[in-house]
């Protein structure tokens, strides 16, 4: 997953590229580079280095860059280590390009085009540049098409040809590219975050189409060379929401935004306390005709699916499976034309989820997706889309996007139960009224975040942390554990409490840190006895539980009282506490909370 930006027009390009790359850095940040075309000589110069965009800015500062056309890239390494040579852009012959994706047949291509000894990097991208150069004979459209026909894999290429100065081309398959015409020129990027300051309208470059951008206009061609009209969409958020607004990290800001995001989401997707998805075009038919539901997602989005599964089973009495999207296609899933597949994705670009959705559709399933980014690839692949409208989520660790996915699943399960006659109108409305208490409960936790900060200080030096819960509390802990792992680098594992005695309990010794959560009344006695099991073996227990449960569970643990909402909705409340816990551990350890090592916000490689 990399960040790409390109511009050609009247304005000086250097800062457009560098500022854009900074906004895209959450997509990958192990090296960065730009290629700029001198406005006098029309020569292309490349500046690139391992490190962050700030390091690239320092490199560019030493150069006299007088250019109004250029392309830029911030990298998440796939092929080839993190070093200056492997940073993009890459050049070969007349071609200079940047790439997001993976070319699977790069080795065969290196042999086919006798590239031995001609390459300066270990990347698949430089080999692709050589292939584009091989097929370029003066006609960019034909050259790009013929080169792409040789490539296997995923890609978003942004290409410049030395003899066509100040014109930029792009072609993609799966990896995203959006483009726009602005009053001062034309521009493209991996996602709308980087162009939102220049335009209110943009379009996604369709797969296997060629975009040609000049200073004055842009043209889109299909692979037969026929020009097609771009489908423009409006940018659906004000750009300033992409700033930190005084918070040290985006993650803390986005955690703090959750009460408002969830309150707005519920208000926007209910009418008179009844879930209502008519605005999203989600017909009730989709919810009452299906015989079973398959949820496909990755990471936090998959954890949100666990709540969806629990509620659709318990309230709508529908069989539901939750599948790791990366495993789904290889697990011989049982999908029929009576299956409703639900793809969950903040970015709408996660290739594992996109491919899983396409696979399920090919088996006859109806496709619904729960997405945050409008116009994204998964949205375009779905028959119906429910947008979470959480606004841009910049921190790699998902927080408000995750809880907004939970809230959508709550409303979707309630709508499904109502239209299938499993809940009466009044029962459904009562659940929604309970769900409406969640934002205030989240605010209460935010008001006591220093207590969580104090708990975080107690686990800063931990090496292994057990996170235990039963039922929905286990789902809560899977997400809590992911948060802790990905931003604090502490190894933690979520365990179903009842499973501990079947093996993992052997690992519990004196002062083993165990974080427990207890929010489900029906499981309380068992959860308390599991906590006592680890406590009796010397564990240091931290308990997150409802106030009432804490009274019953005893005060012998370090604890944090969770505000009380209906058990089914406690996931949304407990999530905020565990997000803050992970956040404080990471920030107190001095890490870049928003950009954890080895990760990226959008995973567009399988």
Q: Which residues are catalytic?
A: 2, 601
Helix, strand, coil fractions of the chain, as percent rounded to 5: 40, 25, 35
Closest separation between CB of residue 455 and ligand AGP, Å? 20
Stretch that binds ligand AGP, among 66-74, 105-113, 342-350, 554-562 (CB under 6 A): 342-350
Q: Which residue has the tokens 């997707």?
A: 269
Measured distance CA(221)–CA(141) in Å, rounded: 8
Closest of 458, 556, 569, 450 to residue 519, by C-alpha: 569
Nearer to ligand AGP, 350 or 559 (CB): 350
**Torsions phi, psi of 467, nearest 5?**
-125, 115
Stretch that binds ligand AGP, among 130-138, 393-401, 416-424, 454-462 (CB under 6 A): 393-401
- Asked if 44 interacts with ligand AGP (CB under 6 A), we say no
Stretch that binds ligand AGP, among 195-203, 233-241, 391-399, 576-584 (CB under 6 A): 391-399
What residues numbered 479-518 form the site for ligand AGP, per CB under 6 A? 482, 486
Q: Which of 1, 77, 174, 298 binds ligand AGP (CB under 6 A)?
A: 298
Q: Taking the CB of residue 414, how many other CB atoms lie within 10 A of it? A: 27
Nearer to ligand AGP, 125 or 604 (CB): 604
Closest of 399, 362, 130, 143 to residue 253, by C-alpha: 399
* Strands 491-496 and 274-275, sheet pairing: unpaired
What residues numbered 258-297 form the site for ligand AGP, per CB under 6 A? none
Stretch that binds ligand AGP, among 117-125, 218-226, 347-355, 555-563 (CB under 6 A): 347-355
Q: Which of 396, 419, 472, 582 binds ligand AGP (CB under 6 A)?
A: 396
- Give residue number: closest CB to ligand AGP: 299
- Asked if 347 interacts with ligand AGP (CB under 6 A), we say yes
Stretch that binds ligand AGP, among 62-70, 328-336, 346-354, 458-466 (CB under 6 A): 346-354
Q: Which two tokens stand for residue 142?
A: 């034909």
Strand ranges for 537-579 from DSSP E: 540-546, 558-562
Q: Which of 406, 476, 603, 605 binds ligand AGP (CB under 6 A)?
A: 603
- Asked if 299 interacts with ligand AGP (CB under 6 A), we say yes
Residues sharing a CB contact under 8 Å with residue 348, sequence separation 6 or more, in sequence order: 369, 371, 372, 373, 375, 376, 377, 378, 379
Nearer to ligand AGP, 296 or 365 (CB): 296
Provide the mask over 443-482, with x wherever binding to ligand AGP is found by CB under 6 A and - wherever it is not: ---------------------------------------x
- Asked if 397 interacts with ligand AGP (CB under 6 A), we say yes
Nearer to ligand AGP, 385 or 602 (CB): 602
Q: Which of 353, 382, 492, 604 binds ligand AGP (CB under 6 A)?
A: 353
Closest of 97, 92, 55 to residue 73, by C-alpha: 97
Stretch that binds ligand AGP, among 10-18, 59-67, 176-184, 343-351 (CB under 6 A): 343-351
Angle at CA of residue 305, ends 300 and 309, nearest 5°: 155
What is the DSSP secondary structure assignment for residue 512, as one 8-state letter?
Answer: -
Closest of 242, 240, 185 to residue 68, by C-alpha: 185
- Asked if 346 interacts with ligand AGP (CB under 6 A), we say yes
Q: Which two tokens stand for residue 196?
A: 């939102």
**Binding-site size, ligand AGP (CB under 6 A):** 16
Closest separation between CB of residue 71 and ligand AGP, Å? 25
Measured distance CA(228)–CA(130) in Å, rounded: 28
* Strands 153-161 and 320-324, sheet pairing: unpaired
- Asked if 301 interacts with ligand AGP (CB under 6 A), we say yes
* Three-state DSSP string of 54-82: HHHHHHHHCCCCCEEEEEEEEECCCCCCC
Closest of 125, 539, 196, 118 to residue 391, by C-alpha: 196
Nearer to ligand AGP, 160 or 367 (CB): 367
Using CB under 6 A, list all residues that contact ligand AGP.
298-301, 345-347, 350, 353, 396-398, 482, 486, 602-603
């Amino acid at each position: 997953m990399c960040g790409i930006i390109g511009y050609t027009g009247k304005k000086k390009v250097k800062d457009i590229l560098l500022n854009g790359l900074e906004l895209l850095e959450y997509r990958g940040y192990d090296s960065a580079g730009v290629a700029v075309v001198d406005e006098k000589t029309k020569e292309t110069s490349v500046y690139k280095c391992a490190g962050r965009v700030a390091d690239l800015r320092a490199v560019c500062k030493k150069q006299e860059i007088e250019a109004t056309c250029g392309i830029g890239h911030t990298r998440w390494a796939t092929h080839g280590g993190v070093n200056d040579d492997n940073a993009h852009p890459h050049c070969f012959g007349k071609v200079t390009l940047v790439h997001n994706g993976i070319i699977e047949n790069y080795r065969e291509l290196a042999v086919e085009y006798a590239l031995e000894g001609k390459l300066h990097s270990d990347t698949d991208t430089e080999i692709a540049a050589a292939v584009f150069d091989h097929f370029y004979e003066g006609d960019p459209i034909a050259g790009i098409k013929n080169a792409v026909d040789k490539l296997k894999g995923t890609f978003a290429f942004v290409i410049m040809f030395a003899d066509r100065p100040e014109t930029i081309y792009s072609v993609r398959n799966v990896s995203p590219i959006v483009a726009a015409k602005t009053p001062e020129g034309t521009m493209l990027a991996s996602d709308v975050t980087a162009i939102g300051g220049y335009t209110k309208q943009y379009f996604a470059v369709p797969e296997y189409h060629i975009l040609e951008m000049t200073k004055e206009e842009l043209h889109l061609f299909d692979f037969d060379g026929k020009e097609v009209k771009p489908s423009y969409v409006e940018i659906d958020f004000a750009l300033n929401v992409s700033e930190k607004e005084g918070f040290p990290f985006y993650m803390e800001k986005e955690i703090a935004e959750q009460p408002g995001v969830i309150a707005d989401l519920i208000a926007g997707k209910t009418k008179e306390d009844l879930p209502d998805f008519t605005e999203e075009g989600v017909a009730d038919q989709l919810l009452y005709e299906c015989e079973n539901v398959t949820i496909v997602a990755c990471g936090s989005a998959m954890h949100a699916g666990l709540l969806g599964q629990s509620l659709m089973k318990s309230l709508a009495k529908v069989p539901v499976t939750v599948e790791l999207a990366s495993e789904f296609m290889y697990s011989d899933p049982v999908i029929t034309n009576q299956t409703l597949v639900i793809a969950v994705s903040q970015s709408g670009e996660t290739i594992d989820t996109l491919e899983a959705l396409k696979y399920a559709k090919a088996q006859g399933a109806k496709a619904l997706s729960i997405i945050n980014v409008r116009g994204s690839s998964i949205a375009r692949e779905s028959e119906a889309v429910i947008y979470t409208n959480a606004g841009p989520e910049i921190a790699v660790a998902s927080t408000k996007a995750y809880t907004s996915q939970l809230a959508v699943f709550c409303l979707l399960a309630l709508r499904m139960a109502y239209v299938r006659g499993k809940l009466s109108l009044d029962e459904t409305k009562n659940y929604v009224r309970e769900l409406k208490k969640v934002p205030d409960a989240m605010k209460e936790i935010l008001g006591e975040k220093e207590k969580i900060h104090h708990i975080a200080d107690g686990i800063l030096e931990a090496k292994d942390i057990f996170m235990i819960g039963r039922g929905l509390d286990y789902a809560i802990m899977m997400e809590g554990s992911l948060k802790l792992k990905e931003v604090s680098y502490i190894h933690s594992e979520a365990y179903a409490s009842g499973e501990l005695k079947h093996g993992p309990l052997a690992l519990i010794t004196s002062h083993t840190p165990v974080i427990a959560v207890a929010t489900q009344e029906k499981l309380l006695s068992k959860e308390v006895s599991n906590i006592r099991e680890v406590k009796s073996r010397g564990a240091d227990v931290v308990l997150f539980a409802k106030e009432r449960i804490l009274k019953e569970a005893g005060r012998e643990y370090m604890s944090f009282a969770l505000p009380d909402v209906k058990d089914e909705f406690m996931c949304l409340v407990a999530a905020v506490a565990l997000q803050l816990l992970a956040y404080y551990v990471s920030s107190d350890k001095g890490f870049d909370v928003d950009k954890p090592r080895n990760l990226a916000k959008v995973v567009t490689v399988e």
